[in-house]
Chain A
Amino acid sequence: MDQKLKIELSKQGIVTTTLEELYNWGRKNSVWPMTFGLACCAIEMIATSMARYDLARFGAEVFRPSPRQADLMIVSGTVTKKMAPQVVRLYNQMAEPKYVIAMGACAISGGPFKQGYNVLKGIDRYIPVDVHIPGCPPRPEALIDAFMTLQKKIDEQALTGTGRPRHLVADAPSEFVVPRFGAHDLEPPKNPDVFHILNNDEPCSAGEVDARRD
């Protein structure tokens, strides 16, 4: 619709919109996170919801403890192999539409504790992640920026066609395989449907990467 006509009409008290805009506007401004703090990043998440950097003004009014009532899971902190089945189970119990923010270096790829027998090298080995925030720990402003990025992402989701979100696709899975405890490692060590490795190049050091690029 023509923008000028829209503004003229709204000055007269008539608001025009599409169903898609209205649906996404309602969804993006009331994303309720789940209280899922694992480690140090959880303290920054709590500080973000406190009086100084208030997260409630962006729509995250209450942090729900139950996964059935939450829309967003902020994985803040290191995910260890002992905790990974619980994380995936909680994700499975959340109702669609659901989103995941991986907060901090540990949730993205293992972080500073990457060389470890008990550290899961990134939560995106088992569940799909929407926004990654780097940092150790990321500042509260970075978490607010990630929240706004998520809102922008929700806003751009179309209701029909190929760009539609997962909860409107009939045969897209919403529950993922829960890993079991094995004798030496988790079984399976990763979920191949979720964990896509983009480049299969021969591993090399950073200097050789630059040489290859040129």
Chain B
Amino acid sequence: MLEEIKVRIESAVPGCQLEIIPNGSPSGQHSLLLDPPHALEVAKFLRDDPELRLDYCSNVTGVDWLDTEQSPGHLEAVYHLYSMEKKHGPIVLRMRTENRSDKVHLPSVTPIWRSAEFQEREIFDLYGIIFDGHPDLRRIMMWDEFEDHPMRKDYVEPDDYEYEPTPHDHVLTRAKEHVERNPQ
């Protein structure tokens, strides 16, 4: 079913490169990888096409893939689309950035589906993906003077482990490090 949708999108929006990413779990929700330059046109086609009518963007998720030996790391945004008119779904779309440090721009789908407005702001706040075309991109969960992107996998928490009544495992190692750093 996803292959048919891929063929239809490729015939409607020329020049776009799509790729089906299979899903290993029994849920069977395979996803479609979009390329950022054509993402807005593909999204508009998916929303307005009379057979698909995917007018409800349910969930926008940010994912952080660290650098491995096989491939450089990248950040990713996953979109789950449903149709309120035809009552089918979900169709899963993905968009990837090029790397984790400086090329982190992706087009925003908020002009097409307004439900992505707060969710894209949250991904900007916690992961650092900058969405071009978003009407109001600023921090939503953390305070404005905060400087890190906390949900990334390599984020280090601030050191406030002064007193731990029953530490164990990694909390014990951090409490010991804290005492070494501040001898009293």
Are A and B in contact, CB atoms below 8 Å, in the complex? yes
Chain A hits for B145, CB < 8 A: 181-183
Contact for B175 among A118, A189, A203, CB less than 8 A: A203
- Interface size in chain A (residues, C-beta < 8 A): 23
B142 at the interface (CB under 8 A from A): yes
- A182, B143: Cα distance in complex, Å: 9
Q: Which of B122-144 contact A (CB under 8 A)?
A: 141-144
Contact for B143 among A116, A181, A189, CB less than 8 A: A181
Q: Is the CB of A82 within 8 A of B167?
A: no
User: Closest approach, in angstroms, between the C-beta of B167 and any C-beta of chain A?
Assistant: 5
B11 at the interface (CB under 8 A from A): no
Of all chain B residues, which has the CB nearest A201?
B179
Q: Is the CB of A190 within 8 A of B162?
A: yes
Q: Is the CB of B142 within 8 A of A184?
A: no
Query: Known contacts A82-B142, A203-B167; is A184 also within 8 Å of B158 by CB?
Result: yes
A162 at the interface (CB under 8 A from B): no
Q: Which of A194-214 contact B (CB under 8 A)?
A: 195, 197, 200, 202-206, 209
- A28, B75: Cα distance in complex, Å: 57
Chain B hits for A206, CB < 8 A: 166, 168
Q: Is the CB of B158 within 8 A of A189?
A: yes
A185 at the interface (CB under 8 A from B): yes
User: Closest approach, in angstroms, between the C-beta of A116 and any C-beta of chain B?
Assistant: 8
- A121, B168: Cα distance in complex, Å: 17
B4 at the interface (CB under 8 A from A): no
Q: Is the CB of B160 within 8 A of A189?
A: yes
Chain B hits for A185, CB < 8 A: 158, 160
B147 at the interface (CB under 8 A from A): yes
Q: Which of A100-116 contact B (CB under 8 A)?
A: 115-116
B184 at the interface (CB under 8 A from A): yes
Q: Is the CB of A184 within 8 A of B146?
A: yes
Contact for A200 among B142, B146, B184, CB less than 8 A: B184
- Interface size in chain B (residues, C-beta < 8 A): 25
Most buried by A among B143, B155, B184: B143
Number of A-B residue pairs with CB-CB distance less than 8 Å in the complex they form:
53
Of all chain B residues, which has the CB nearest A110?
B160
User: Closest approach, in angstroms, between the C-beta of B161 and any C-beta of chain A?
Assistant: 8
- A206, B146: Cα distance in complex, Å: 35
User: Closest approach, in angstroms, between the C-beta of B78 and any C-beta of chain A?
Assistant: 23
- A185, B157: Cα distance in complex, Å: 9
Q: Is the CB of A117 within 8 A of B179?
A: no
Q: Is the CB of A197 within 8 A of B166?
A: no
Chain A hits for B168, CB < 8 A: 205-206
Q: Is the CB of A203 within 8 A of B176?
A: yes
User: Closest approach, in angstroms, between the C-beta of A118 and any C-beta of chain B?
Assistant: 7
Q: Is the CB of B160 within 8 A of A117?
A: no
Q: Is the CB of A190 within 8 A of B160?
A: yes
Query: Known contacts A183-B147, A203-B172, A205-B168; is A118 also within 8 Å of B142 by CB?
Result: yes
Chain A hits for B172, CB < 8 A: 203-205
Known: A184-B148, A190-B162, A202-B179; 17 extra A-B contacts, CB below 8 A, are A81-B143, A117-B158, A118-B150, A181-B143, A181-B145, A183-B147, A185-B158, A189-B158, A200-B184, A202-B176, A203-B164, A203-B167, A203-B175, A205-B166, A205-B167, A205-B172, A206-B168
Can you name 10 A-B residue pairings with CB atoms under 8 Å? A81-B143, A115-B157, A117-B157, A183-B147, A197-B162, A200-B184, A203-B167, A204-B172, A205-B166, A206-B168
